[in-house]
Amino acid sequence: MTTRDTNWPAGYPCWIDISFDTEHRRLHHAATFYGELFGWRVEEGDEQYGGYRMCFKNDAAVAGLAPKMDPQQPSVWLLYLASDDAAATTAAVRQYGGQVIVEPMDVGNLGTMSVCVDPQGGVFGVWQGKEHHGFELIDEPGSVGWSDLLTHDGTAAQEFYAAVFGYTYREADADGYFFIEKDGQVVGGLHQAPQDVPVGWLVHFNVASRDASAQIAQELDGEIIMTLDTVAGPEATIQGLGGELFNLVEPTTNFTL
């Protein structure tokens, strides 16, 4: 278990959130889904921040749920990477061939954010924390334990993230899989995925039991896409109520921060 009450170092995964349509109470249903699946307490959104809801596990902030600003926006878990200077990091994204969806913007006194796309199409956020530092808890059941970048061009993806965030890489035993390291610390994984697999960051939530949690997700109207056994432990890929994909992992090995 890792707890934190200061900003995460630059380049580290530091936060996740997801947006849902408020029509037909989909945001409310998502809060119930994740609350029951992971044991989260979901706070009602503050209108000052557009109704953004904070999710807590054991009173520690672990994720955010938000109303969609654009009905066409897909519901996907967005992983934020920490930055000491969001404007400079966003400029580097452009410099090295990425795109910017949301320009750097202040979120009240909480921090500064942008949303970017790497040259292979993977979407990620940039977060420069102020009052909100990001994850207060990871590696505990019901919190984020791991994130994988799925890409169709592993070499190009490595070059981009190395240039923007200073990542280095260490090849794992699995074919086409690399550990992402920052200053010698493992912070995630990079996997050269088949062409039929969508690119992007896949968030993994730790659970006490893969099978039990997958069954709960299914009972809550989620869908079990597949189950698999990995070097990290038993995993399941789940599709949530908005079509979002995420993994459950029952960790037997700790690679994380």
- What is the average pLDDT across 20-26? 80
pLDDT at residue 62 tops 90:
yes
- 172 pLDDT band, cuts 50/70/90, is confident
- What is the average pLDDT across 222-233? 93
Cα 146 to Cα 127: distance, rounded to the nearest angstrom: 18
Cα 229 to Cα 237: distance, rounded to the nearest angstrom: 11
Q: What is the pLDDT of residues 78-131, one digit of tens each?
A: 999 999 999 999 999 999 999 999 999 999 999 999 999 999 999 999 999 999
How far, in Å, are 1, 163, 168, 215 from residue 160 at the CA level? 30, 5, 11, 38
In the prediction, which pLDDT does 38 show?
Answer: 98
Chain position carrying tokens 């207060």: 136
- 254 pLDDT band, cuts 50/70/90, is low
In the prediction, which pLDDT does 190 show?
Answer: 96
- What is the average pLDDT across 165-181? 90
In the prediction, which pLDDT does 5 show?
Answer: 87
Instruction: Please state the pTM of the whole predicted model.
Output: 0.95
pLDDT at residue 248 tops 90:
yes
Mean pLDDT (the chain) is 94
pLDDT at residue 250 tops 70:
yes
In the prediction, which pLDDT does 3 show?
Answer: 82
**Residue 139 — left, alpha, or beta (φ > 0 → left; ψ -120 to 50 → alpha)?**
left
